[in-house]
Structure 1
Amino acid sequence: MKAATKLILGLGLVGTLFTSCAGDYYVSERPAEPYYVRPASPYADAYWVPGEWAWRGNRYVYVNGYYTHARHNHVYVAGYWRHTNRGHVWVHGHWR
């Protein structure tokens, strides 16, 4: 049992080390946002979460927005492009 516990703790530690290595992905030019029509609201308290950029296969790809239930006492902060001296990086949206 002690060996299993040590193994689980070791794997957890290694996992956290590798996730901390996943940093920001910079590009020299921001990709153009595609045009698409937002669908009609599917239910009464629906909140539209705007589309975002995701890093996949050495490039940013656009992920369409979606409807979700509004979160009580929270505000959604939309994602945005941040310009740095290394290039442009996408900052993901989140509920605050």
Structure 2
Amino acid sequence: MTTLTHKLVALAALGLVAGAATYTPPAAAREVVEVVTVGTRPPPPRFERVPPPRSGYVWAPGYWNWYGGRYVWVGGRWNNYRPGYVYRPPVWRPYGRGYRIERETWVRDPRWHR
């Protein structure tokens, strides 16, 4: 082999080594569970006029969220309907000497038959 061929082979090998050394595999997907416990009771819910039903959607009522060291109102919104599931809105529950929020979720409807 010629000197140029040796140089190209060495350069290609160096590139492969450098690429392998700097490769980082993508992180595995995981669910982030945020636990918020607050020492004071949340304010009473605000009145929201629930809009007329929409086909294919479920109304998610507004709720108080803890953000930036205080309660912040999050207004209601429409969520896409999920066949076989029931929407559970967020709710604040007493926890120790404070309150903890249970985030909104979709749970399997036990009456659902495929």
TM more than 0.5: yes
In the alignment, does 2:75 pair up with 1:64?
yes
Aligned to 2:15: none
5+ residue gaps, structure 1: none
Is the 2:64–2:73 Cα contact (8 Å) retained in structure 1? yes
Would you say 1:29 and 2:41 are equivalent positions?
yes
SS of equivalent to 2:37: coil
Shift of the alpha carbon at 1:3?
4.3
Greater C-alpha radius of gyration: 2
Q: Is the 8 A contact 2:90 2:103 kept in 1?
A: yes
Which residue in the other structure is 2:62 paired with?
51
1: CA distance between counterparts of 2:86 and 2:76? 16
Contact 2:64 2:74 in 1 (8 A): yes
**Number of equivalent positions:** 87
CA positional deviation for 1:40: 2.4
Moved over 4 A (4+): none
Aligned CA-pair RMSD: 2.6
Match of 1:75 in 2: 86
Q: Which has the higher contact order (CA 8 A, sep 6+)?
A: 1
Contact 1:53 1:90 in 2 (8 A): no
Identity %: 26
